[in-house]
Structure formats: C-alpha cells, structure tokens
Amino acid sequence: MHSLANKNALVLGGTSGIGHTVATSFCQAGARVVIAGRRDASVDASAMGAEFLRCDMTSEQEVVDTLDITVSKCGLLDVLVINAGMADDEGSIESYSSESMKAVMDVNFNGAFYAFKYGPNRLKNGASVIYTGSVAGSGVTHAGAAVYAASKAGGAYLMRASAVENAPRGIRVNAVCPALIADTGMMVADDGNETAAFLSQLNAFGRMGRQDEITGIYNFLASDASTFITGQEIRVDGGMTAGIGLPTFAAIGG
C-alpha cells in the first residue's frame, strides 16, 4: 500500500460499496478522509477514522457546498474520488421510461459533471482526481444496460477532457472501470447463488472480483507513485474485456 500520509481526500459516494471500501483504505494509508453521500453514514465514517457530509449529487449546490465544507475542514484537496452512481433494471431502450432514464443520468452524469466542474478549484496543484466508471461504458455493454453504459461512457469523456484541461497544474485525472465486483450494492454477493455463478463465467478468472481487489488501484492513483498517469480508463475486470475466456467456453461445453 502506498502511503497517503498528510493527504486530504474527499470520496463522493463513499457511504457504501466500492466508495466505502476505498475510503477505508485511504484512512488506513494515512489520509485525512471525508466521505459524502445521501444516507447518513456518520457512525461508519467515525469508525473508519473519517468525517461524513451529506451530499445529494443531483444537487449542484450540495456538491459545491460539500467541496467548500471539506476544504474549510481540511484545506485544499490532494485527492478527489467521484464515485457516486446508480444502476437500474432497465430492460430494453424501447421499454425503459424516460423518467427513469433521467434519474440515472442525473446521478451518474450530471453529478459527475458538477464534481468535475467545481472540484479543480478546490484541489492543490499536483492533486489526483479518480472517477469510478465501469467497463459497461468502457469496452463492453449488454442488453438491458443502455442508459447506465451511456452515463458511464459520458463520465469517462468528462474525465478525459478534465485531464487535458487540468494538466497545466499537474493535476491528473483518471478513471477506474470495474466489472463484476461482488456485493457492491450494484452487484450480487459471490455466495454461490445462481446469478453469481453465471457472472463468474464471463471473465478469464472464472469468478467475481472482491472489493479489496479494487482498492489498490485507487490507492496507487491517489499516491505520488502515479504522477505521470492521466486521462486513462483503467479496467479492473478479471480479463472480461480482453476477450472470451475459457470459463465461458467451459460453460457451453466448448
């Protein structure tokens, strides 16, 4: 684990799933951490050694207020993690309601836009911004996930543009794009259930990933070991986007 001692970090969407696990690892690496989310996680935050702020990412003003309060508590940020997101059981594009589409885009795209828009002015020169994307918007997608994939693809291109725009200040901006990480709130637990067994066939390792297997890349990107990496979409997917793996062939008797 790379040291994050003396670094100030804000994890937007840090109250559950990957964001919570990442925030915990940042605390363990020595960072001063603030987590933000819609549900009250003050007890969890205190237990991990962080502070909590309530923030609805669909509210532009709440995103601004969260950034400003964090800076008032900690000083300018060294690390900003843009992790808040939601998924839905979409079905087909034709059958999915426009209202549901707008709700997903409001969190996943608009919320990310607000963070990319207002975050840089609250960052130190040389800081790191880490956007949580998805392989669904960076390499593959599937029927029934069109809006989610589009929202994450849009966020990935915001990330790329932000990387270019903020490079003169030495700020690097990257995306971590997970796939099939178990028990994140958007993915089932890997406990032998039928859905997990099916999903496990879709990557080269033949299993779902664990949350502790994704924190290392966030830690690396937050640390001073990654100062020449920017504008990248880094997939943590067990080889899912590399090609059709042996577990898939085995499942169909190939």
Q: Give the CATH number for residue 95.
A: 3.40.50.720
Q: Is residue 253 part of a domain?
A: no
Does a structural domain hold residue 138? yes
Out of 152, 200, 218, 223, pick the active-site residue: 152
**Which listed residue (134, 151, 162, 226) is catalytic?**
134
pLDDT by residue, tens only, the chain of 254 residues: 799 999 999 999 999 889 999 999 999 999 999 999 998 888 788 899 999 999 999 999 999 999 999 999 999 999 999 999 988 888 999 999 999 999 999 999 999 999 999 999 999 999 999 999 999 888 788 778 899 999 999 999 999 999 999 999 999 999 999 988 888 766 777 777 887 777 778 888 888 888 889 999 999 999 999 999 999 999 998 888 877 767 666 666 65
Quote the CA–CA distance of 8 and 32 in Å, as a whole number: 5
Q: Are 130 and 79 in contact (CB under 8 A)?
A: yes
CB-CB contact of 146 with 101 (8 Å): no
User: Domains in the chain: how many in total?
Assistant: 1
118 has catalytic annotation? no
Structure tokens at 116: 């990319």
The answer to whether residue 159 is domain-embedded is yes
- Residue 21 lies inside a defined structural domain of this protein: yes
Residue 196 lies in a domain: no
138 burial via Cβ count (<10 Å: 0-12, 13-18, 19+): buried
Catalytic residue (one of 7, 128, 131, 148) = 148
For 176, the domain range is: 8-188+209-243
User: Residue 186 has what pLDDT?
Assistant: 66
Residue 114 falls in the annotated catalytic set: no
Kindly state whether residue 137 falls inside one of the protein's structural domains: yes
- pLDDT of 9 reads 98
**Strand-pair partners of 33:** 9
Residue 102 falls in the annotated catalytic set = no
218 inside domain: yes
Using CA atoms, how far apart are residues 61 and 186, in angstroms rounded to an integer? 26
pLDDT at 242: 78
Tell me if 204 is assigned to some domain: no
3-state secondary structure the chain: CCCCCCCEEEEECCCCHHHHHHHHHHHHCCCEEEEEECCCCHHHHHHHCCEEEECCCCCHHHHHHHHHHHHHHHCCEEEEEECCCCCCCCCCCCCCCHHHHHHHHHHHHHHHHHHHHHCHHHEEEEEEEEEECCHHHCCCCCCCCHHHHHHHHHHHHHHHHHHHHHHHHCCEEEEEEECCECCCCCCCCCCCCHHHHHHHHHCCCCCCECHHHCHHHHHHHHCHHHCCCCCCEEEECCCCCCCCCHHHHHHCCC
